[in-house]
Amino acid sequence: MSDFKTVQELKQLDPNIAAPFRSIFILRRKTLKTAKNGNPFLSIELGDAGGSFTANCFGDSEVFAALESVVEGSIVRVSGKTEYFNERFSPRLQAAEEVDPSEEEAQGMLSELVEIPPESEEELWADIEEAIAAIEHPKLRETVERVMEKMGPAFRTGTAAINMHHAYRHGLLEHTTHMVRAARALLPLYPQVDGDLAIAGIILHDIGKLEEYEGDFAAKVSRIGTLQGHVVLGFRTARKAALESKLNTDLTERLEHIILSHQGEKEWGAAAMAATPEAVFVSMIDNLDAKMGMVQRVLRNTPEGEEFSEYLAGLQTRVLLTPPDKS
Amino acid sequence: MSDFKTVQELKQLDPNIAAPFRSIFILRRKTLKTAKNGNPFLSIELGDAGGSFTANCFGDSEVFAALESVVEGSIVRVSGKTEYFNERFSPRLQAAEEVDPSEEEAQGMLSELVEIPPESEEELWADIEEAIAAIEHPKLRETVERVMEKMGPAFRTGTAAINMHHAYRHGLLEHTTHMVRAARALLPLYPQVDGDLAIAGIILHDIGKLEEYEGDFAAKVSRIGTLQGHVVLGFRTARKAALESKLNTDLTERLEHIILSHQGEKEWGAAAMAATPEAVFVSMIDNLDAKMGMVQRVLRNTPEGEEFSEYLAGLQTRVLLTPPDKS
Amino acid sequence: MSDFKTVQELKQLDPNIAAPFRSIFILRRKTLKTAKNGNPFLSIELGDAGGSFTANCFGDSEVFAALESVVEGSIVRVSGKTEYFNERFSPRLQAAEEVDPSEEEAQGMLSELVEIPPESEEELWADIEEAIAAIEHPKLRETVERVMEKMGPAFRTGTAAINMHHAYRHGLLEHTTHMVRAARALLPLYPQVDGDLAIAGIILHDIGKLEEYEGDFAAKVSRIGTLQGHVVLGFRTARKAALESKLNTDLTERLEHIILSHQGEKEWGAAAMAATPEAVFVSMIDNLDAKMGMVQRVLRNTPEGEEFSEYLAGLQTRVLLTPPDKS
Amino acid sequence: MSDFKTVQELKQLDPNIAAPFRSIFILRRKTLKTAKNGNPFLSIELGDAGGSFTANCFGDSEVFAALESVVEGSIVRVSGKTEYFNERFSPRLQAAEEVDPSEEEAQGMLSELVEIPPESEEELWADIEEAIAAIEHPKLRETVERVMEKMGPAFRTGTAAINMHHAYRHGLLEHTTHMVRAARALLPLYPQVDGDLAIAGIILHDIGKLEEYEGDFAAKVSRIGTLQGHVVLGFRTARKAALESKLNTDLTERLEHIILSHQGEKEWGAAAMAATPEAVFVSMIDNLDAKMGMVQRVLRNTPEGEEFSEYLAGLQTRVLLTPPDKS
Amino acid sequence: MSDFKTVQELKQLDPNIAAPFRSIFILRRKTLKTAKNGNPFLSIELGDAGGSFTANCFGDSEVFAALESVVEGSIVRVSGKTEYFNERFSPRLQAAEEVDPSEEEAQGMLSELVEIPPESEEELWADIEEAIAAIEHPKLRETVERVMEKMGPAFRTGTAAINMHHAYRHGLLEHTTHMVRAARALLPLYPQVDGDLAIAGIILHDIGKLEEYEGDFAAKVSRIGTLQGHVVLGFRTARKAALESKLNTDLTERLEHIILSHQGEKEWGAAAMAATPEAVFVSMIDNLDAKMGMVQRVLRNTPEGEEFSEYLAGLQTRVLLTPPDKS
Amino acid sequence: MSDFKTVQELKQLDPNIAAPFRSIFILRRKTLKTAKNGNPFLSIELGDAGGSFTANCFGDSEVFAALESVVEGSIVRVSGKTEYFNERFSPRLQAAEEVDPSEEEAQGMLSELVEIPPESEEELWADIEEAIAAIEHPKLRETVERVMEKMGPAFRTGTAAINMHHAYRHGLLEHTTHMVRAARALLPLYPQVDGDLAIAGIILHDIGKLEEYEGDFAAKVSRIGTLQGHVVLGFRTARKAALESKLNTDLTERLEHIILSHQGEKEWGAAAMAATPEAVFVSMIDNLDAKMGMVQRVLRNTPEGEEFSEYLAGLQTRVLLTPPDKS
């Protein structure tokens, strides 16, 4: 893609030649330090989906000025020359500037900058939109629409977790869409479950994570996330939208209950145990897709030829990666 | 008090004489049954703080008509004659009528009908009122006042639990007042704790229990209590009052956080772990007074002469009841 | 159905008249006792899906001789006269004989004798048969067929549990069929999962329960169930069939792994943690249908008018039974 | 303070100039190694409250001779020249000698050598002395006095823990004093609690830690601490003093019980569950002050400007450090 | 054995004839009640190893006077006539008197009054005596002897538990002897274990139970047992004897450590984790013999013909009782 | 032993002289890397029982060719010259070749290459052989013999664990032999335990570990170990041998049950709880010898002079290493 180099491509260049390069990276960490001579310099870590490296920018340089006020998690366009220091790749940067994530060039590089799902954001989102449109009860549909009006853009890009399943850009959108698809496939088998409520509950179940985490490309727990947790934050958002949509009390309580109970067990953060057919249904599908998402991700990310993945804490085992022998 | 007989007094009457009596009891259970001859009859359990008994009211009687639509947990005035059936006290009722709890006669009997704290409701409530008035930050004070405007009467009578500590009428008021007093005694020792926030947080910390339980004299978990739990219900009530009082975001979040975290551990229902000085302070005082409340109750209720109380699940032991030998 | 009376019907008869009756029941418990005069008598408990009662058969009676060697859990046809003893229904039996469950009359009463699923055994089994036929890999299909050849009849009638989900006649068949349907609905969404293996694994996952429990209409854990548990018993059965079918080692191990890991957690009895896409998939669907099965059962069995079910240990809560208010 | 340099001050000196310095540090670790040429050298770690560094002293040097027999945890006065090796501060020491902690110069540096509480040892101890004097029961007071006669000096300097709350010099004194103050504030609210016993119990509750840990400025668990634990060690010490003071059996057992039960839960090391009003009271105040002590410490130690502390294992969360917005 | 009847023998007599009888029983429970006519009567439960019954003694009878001051757990000689009330065996007592357990007649009945081990007290104790004599270290041997001098008689009769393993008369002696035998058999295989210490530790490991429980034939937890637990009580007893015997500090600490750590896990009451070869050895043998003792007891007590025992909480399963088929 | 140098001996040579050496090591890790110039090289780790070092072999060298296809865990004979790089020992290898473990030279070095038990393989195995020969029941003996015919050689060398007790070469043989000896010592004390079954069960209890782990000198969990676990693998092996030996069903089930239950608790991997006298006996002896084995190993391996071992996770404490003071 273009002449931009990824971290891996840069590291494969002949280390004995100072090669000029251009690229787009995420500014992962930025620390202001003082050199032994008393002068300030920036120690920065730049990275993409395939790796990262560290570089130093001295206080009197152009790059120092350009990066001084850029926040961690931003996308930056840099140019420089390859260089090695103590056998570690540590290029000399010559120019740097922040790039807006919506800029065309950044968009083109996005899949190489950060881990993203195999399906495009558009495909995934289309299914969410269709599922919302298919909610029959007008005020329930309106409730979901109101949340998405406000949260939609964040919902389309946010991660579903920091350490566990679907922990990558668009991960929340992917996980939610997969749950919607699973629910629609299963609803005919469990007629006791109200489809409208289940679908609305699924779309909103993790909405609190958009407030629990902060930082665009390097998520960490926010202040309000520490103080309240995503279950209560999602409850709050859904409740507000339901009140504005004049949803009746019964449906409001059932919708809220799905959010409050979806974590399954109190020690995992559930505020209540699932006590309606819809809440049991949603919390089980959440668990199913979370676990299957971990499997899908290691199948995608482990280098070919490995028989087993690394040990996965979420599954308490390694995953067998080779396909079944159907001969 | 008056000529009304308690259950214990009735049972001490000579069983060989059908003695006429009048009394006031709580209707604890009421079941409609069908006699062998096909006729309906009511099997009812009547009780007071010291005991209970069962009586049958046949379908064609005046008492049947009087009690048919009275709900469980109501106070009833009855008259009848003592009678024994198979050696069990089972009086023949001749008249019955529901009594409003605010009625003078009921008030007079209240302390014999249900377990109540040793201090009067008025004394306890006066301390709450004074503590509210002493909150310096006007909007924080207003927030607490708004909640009490709506919830006050229920707050003054409700129980703090069904099975655990302070599980009796006015128990929530007693527990909250004790916590307020403990906090005021301790605040000078922990200057890192903001007194306004701690007091406001204490007063509201269990407010959700007023919605979690229902039934005046025979509490059970309500529908909304099952679906949301008292932590989220209290959060919701406090949040609404804070928004109406235009409390700033920082204080609102800290107040909400006290409620969300006061249970201490996630498996006990905390939505978040206490992360502010005030939240740690309140959750520790809650635990202290809950445990001390169990001790105070068994000291109060165990018959004199016993060395140890029954085994208490909440303390995982029996409590030594005899005073220390200070000779 | 016919002139046979159910337990509930018998108990509704006028207690003051000794009414003759005929009926079919299950012999739930049978104990040989000695009367005060030294004579032996049988104390038996007879019951159907709606209740039970106790009767005594004295040693010199015809009924004693007829029931002496009938084992608990058998179906018996009895006739007698209604009678009450100490206000408890305790009829005098005049004749009794064991009935073969396959006998027409017994079949006709079956739905009144024991709890059974809403769908008929035939409908459920048809789906299993179709799913087996749809397994594409010949030796995998043969493996499942071999198991069903031997275990099929037991599989069609056995319970899925003694105390937990699907704990009733045909419960294992119902649970397995529901899982097959759920898997087929979800397979298109998780292409990483091999459909043949998942379906074969589901059909066999609980097959060990047929040896873990014994007794036709009153299941209890068998000797081999205590010594090995259903996970190992199922593994053993599947392994034998796979070896006889000359299934290749890879597929054999993956099929066995699904059985060994389906319980999800080691403390729930899993011998290994699910480590293949198919094993994760099956164990999640097992959990989903087990929980939904509990919901479906209380919705079916709780008397109309109740808002909440009893507390269910398997869900750690009561279930809200009323339908959502979609107005 | 004087011309002694702290570790931080030394590290801020111009690294390109070998600056002479004098200072007082704690000898944290000392290891005898063999150089490649076969000669012995000491690798030592010196530190103060603000940091530490490593230096090597070769076998033929004066410093080697001076430090060879000094034990870890001692205070040493050193002089030398700043030097950097591989960019790490690693000064060349020219002279060293052990300093007695009671020496004036050491005293002056103490607050910079080790973490200590904000209140002075004298202030804290004065409150303990006053509390002891206020114990009304003569033999109970004598019991506490006997323990303090023997343990007092160690009690005034020891740490309350290695890793958890109040884990610093004078930490045990601070924690105990805070508990005494809290108890005195709360006693009027819980008249069921005997004040004499509660205060005596608090003062002695952790006395076993003085034997459980060893090493003056670098605590580690002692042999007897591993074999018995501080609960039993404290019990032993209190029991001996009570016997010597001829305290009656009832009070002796109640005092011992407070020590044996103060850890709250068996898995935290309690030998018995708190079963007297005093034991419940003390164990709850212990928990309250332990948690509040963690909050106070991070508020004190975290650099200004941070919104949240590091994650604290003892509180299972980060602590919000900014003061409430009382505007 | 004599003409005394056991409970089972009495219940087998013809219920229609009031047969005179004499017997010796344990007075299990004794409650003073008031009859409907206001007169006092004693409701007593008498029992032996094979069963129990209830009888009433009215206030004006000789038996009332005889039993009024006899404490629960005593042995009583009674005579009376068999009688049935409401089909329950409820004899009319005519005379009663307390019997000293050491009295010949009581001794002769002991094995029928209470559950005892299959080996006689003398055989078991002989092995303990021999094991003590074989301790080579004089002061260690003296330490054990001193404990036994004081505790010996109680040690020979006491129970090892209330609910768990070896929970019967002489149970502690039996369990300890079995452990001594096991240790002596295993010591040659683990030469790292000091035999003297291990044997001394075993003999004293549960000595605290003699103070933890009280009541001769109907054990319950004593006051000091509740306040301190048997681990600390045993530690205290052993420590005192070791000090009196001038045992050196090292051996004293190791002996105490065996007692403090023998429960294995902190939540089971261990004050410290086993940290010497002897302590690990003793705690493992304790666990082995406790579990094997449960097996031996159900093999002894379950009626012939049963395939499995009842569910045993201590083993978390039923035990297969039939012998292996060695054909 | 010969002129071969161990890792420790090599590291003690004068670092300033490039000394030629020969030795035998285990190839612990082998990674193919690409140098900056694009050329391949092997980074290898070589080690013995006392330490390890890393060396690089470039693509055009003789050593590269020699090691390219040698698998990790093999024994290699190397020669080279000592060399230091960045102060780390990193010798220049000049020749290398794989050595068969059975080769005389390798055998001579084995005790220095890997940790092994203090007793020789021959002594340990002789006890197993004798114990097998002493099994009286012919088909039970044949069952064990059949397993050993196939598994014997692996059984004699395998480890009993990767991280826990007896985690070294011949560790399984040592642990099993110790258990056999302990069982034979204890059997006379527990006559309820069938000796034949207990001994057979012990010999086979961990046999599944030979399939659970793979790699001769650097064990890791195998594919089948991940999918089934050693409990099921051992069950499978024992079952096959029992069927081939025509062992009767009862003994087969009891033998299998010992294997299935020996882990003691379900969360430790037991498929069933021990429910026969033999299974309880074996699982307790397994636990005893596992814990004692940890003690024996730290006593063996900790450098003289240390008072305590490192903290051992398996014992949850440090172990006191000094012998008791028997003066």
- A15 touches F: beta carbon within 8 Å: yes
The token duo for D251 is 């009070």
Contact F156, F125 (CB under 8 A): yes
Residue E38 has pLDDT above 70, yes or no: no
- Tokens linked to F282: 């074996």
Give residue E86's pLDDT. 59
Which pLDDT score is estimated for D164?
A: 66
Mean pLDDT of chain E: 88
Q: How far is A221 from chain C (nearest CA, A)?
A: 29
For the ranges B97-111, B148-162, C175-189, D313-327, the lowest mean pLDDT is seen at B97-111
User: What residue spans of chain F are helical by DSSP H?
Assistant: 7-11, 62-67, 104-113, 121-133, 138-157, 171-186, 195-204, 209-212, 223-244, 249-261, 277-301
Query: What pLDDT shows up at residue B35?
Result: 64
Question: Which of F15, F16, F318 is closest, CB to CB, to D226?
Answer: F318
Is D307–A38 a contact, with Cβ atoms under 8 angstroms apart?
no
Q: How many percent of chain B have pLDDT more than 70?
A: 94
Contact between F309 and F297 (Cβ < 8 Å): no
ipTM of the assembly? Answer: 0.84
Answer with the residue of higher pLDDT: B45 or F130: F130
* Average pLDDT value over all residues in chain D: 88
pLDDT band at F1 (very low <50, low <70, confident <90, very high): very low
Q: How much is the average pLDDT of A294-301? A: 90
pLDDT one-digit tens code per residue, E96-107 = 999 887 787 777
Closest CA to E28 of E12, E15, E46: E46
Chain B residues near residue A227 by CB distance under 8 angstroms: 253-254, 256-257, 260, 272, 275-276
Bridge-based pairing state of the strands F92-99 and F213-214: unpaired
User: Are F248 and E181 an interchain contact pair (Cβ–Cβ within 8 Å)?
Assistant: no
Give per-residue pLDDT as tens, C269-315: 888 999 999 999 999 999 999 999 999 998 987 766 778 988 888 99
For D23, phi and psi rounded to 5 degrees? -165, 170
D229 vs E: CB within 8 A: yes
| Percentage, residues of chain D above pLDDT 70 | 94
Across the interface, whether the CB atoms of E292 and F280 are under 8 A apart is answered yes
Which 8-state DSSP code applies to residue D188? G
Question: Which residues in chain B are contacts of E227 at CB distance < 8 A?
Answer: 320
- E101/F228: higher pLDDT: F228
pLDDT value at C323 more than 60: yes
Locate tokens 């069990």: which residue? B88
**b/e map E133-162, b = 16+ CB within 10 Å:** eebebeebbbbbbbbbeebeeebbbbbbbe
Is the pTM above the cut of 0.95?
A: no
In chain A, % of residues over pLDDT 70: 94
Minimum mean pLDDT among C134-143, D68-77, F126-135: which range? D68-77
Name which of F36, F37, F226 is nearest A318 (Cβ-Cβ): F226
- Mean pLDDT along residues A266-288: 93
Q: If you measure CA to CA, which chain C residue comes closest to E320?
A: C223
Give residue F168's pLDDT.
83
Per-residue model confidence as pLDDT tens digits over B274-316:
999 999 999 999 999 999 999 999 898 876 677 898 888 899 9
Q: Which residue has the higher pLDDT, B281 or F266?
A: B281
Provide the pLDDT confidence category of residue B1 given band limits of 50, 70 and 90. very low
Do residues C122 and C139 lie in contact, with contact meaning Cβ atoms separated by under 8 Å?
no
**Beta-carbon pairs below 8 A across chains A and B:** 66
Chain D CB contacts of E227 under 8 Å are 253-254, 256-257, 260, 272, 275-276
The pLDDT, as a whole number, for residue E163 is 66
Helical residues (DSSP H) of C88-192, grouped into ranges: 104-113, 121-133, 138-157, 171-186
Banded pLDDT at E35 (limits 50, 70, 90): low
Q: Does F163 touch chain A (CB under 8 A)?
A: no
**Interface membership of C197 toward A (CB under 8 Å):** yes
Backbone angles phi, psi at E113, to 5 degrees: -80, -40
Check whether F293 has a pLDDT greater than 70: yes
* Cβ contact D124:D181 at 8 Å: no
Looking at residues A232-238, what average pLDDT do you find?
Answer: 97
Chain A interface test: which of F33, F36, F220, F221 (most A C-beta within 10 Å)? F36
On whether any CB of chain C is under 8 Å from the CB of E50, the answer is: no
Mutation to test the A interface, candidates B222, B224, B227, most A Cβ within 10 Å: B227
pLDDT reported for residue C163? 66
| pLDDT, average across residues D84-107 | 81
Q: Is the pLDDT confidence value at E266 over 70?
A: yes
E1 has pLDDT over 50: no
**To the nearest whole angstrom, how far is the Cα of F14 from the nearest Cα of chain D?**
6
Highest mean pLDDT among A60-69, A101-110, C257-266, E287-296: E287-296
Whether pLDDT at D163 is above 70 = no
Most confidently predicted of A305-319, D10-24, E249-263: E249-263
Determine the average pLDDT of the residues in C64-68: 88
Chain centroid to Cα B162, Å, comes to: 8
Q: What is the spatial distance between Cα D299 and Cα D320, in angstroms, rounded to a whole number?
A: 9
> Considering only D234-243, E67-76, F172-181, which range has the smallest mean pLDDT?
E67-76
- Closest CB to E271: pick one of D232, D239, D276: D232
Cβ–Cβ contact C16 with B under 8 A: yes
User: Which of B62-71, C147-156, E297-306 has the highest mean predicted lDDT (pLDDT)?
Assistant: C147-156
Residue A1 confidence (pLDDT) above 70: no
Is the CB of residue A128 less than 8 Å from the CB of residue A173? Answer: yes
Q: How confident is the model at residue D75 (pLDDT cuts 50, 70, 90)?
A: confident
More confident residue, D105 or C195: C195
pLDDT tens for each residue of F25-34: 988 778 777 6
**Residue to substitute from D276, D298, D307, interface B, most B β-carbons within 10 A:** D276
More confident residue, E246 or B40: E246
Compute the distance between CA of residue B317 and CA of residue F307 in angstroms, rounded to an integer: 39
Interface residue A163 vs chain D (CB under 8 A): no
pLDDT confidence of residue A87: 62
The residue of chain C nearest to residue E86, with distances taken between CA atoms, is C86
* Candidate ranges A67-76, B140-149, C103-112; pick with highest mean pLDDT: B140-149
Q: Is the minimum CB–CB distance between C325 and chain B shorter than 8 Å?
A: no
Query: pLDDT tens digit string along F23-64?
Result: 989 887 787 776 656 677 888 888 887 777 888 888 778 898
Q: Give the span between the Cα atoms of F197 and F251, in whole angstroms.
A: 8
Disruptive mutation site among C212, C227, C278 for chain F (greatest number of F CBs within 10 Å): C227
Name every chain E residue with its beta carbon within 8 A of the beta carbon of B325.
Answer: none
Is the pLDDT at D296 greater than 90, yes or no? yes
User: Which pLDDT score is estimated for D237?
Assistant: 97
